[in-house]
Amino acid sequence: MKYAIVVNEGPYNHQAADSAYQFVKHALDKGHQVLRVFFYYDGVFNGSRFVAPQSDDRHIVKRWAGLAEQHPVDLAICVAAGLRRGITEEVIAPGFRITGLGQLIESCIDADRTVVFGD
């Protein structure tokens, strides 16, 4: 199964980012392909290198980056949503890249399923 994933919520204000991460991790572990994880709306904050949670809290940005190191997962941040929120090339975390909505459309066309996390 080939999946396209859309994350619409930030890393600490909604369960969506954690749920998306767990879904992607388990899908990859089961041998499925994740074509792209597209971060949209407030989801772009999942790719900020300035996220600095307390030491006893989970570090969602590092989790995503680590997943991209282990598997061929494209972590794509929407350029328009990112710019509206101050997320630019200079502030993205390792493993992420900035791209346009065309990449989201392409993933949805190529995927067997598109799964959206967050409103």
- Residue 101 belongs to what H/E stretch? helix 101-110
* 78 catalytically annotated: yes
Encode burial over 21-44: b for 16+ CB neighbours within 10 A, e otherwise. bebbbebbeeeeebbbbbbbbbbb
Write down the catalytic residue from 5, 7, 68, 78. 78
Q: Which amino acid is at 83?
A: L
User: How many Å apart are CA 3 and CA 30, to the nearest integer?
Assistant: 13
Cα 55 to the center of its chain, rounded Å: 22
Catalytic positions are 78
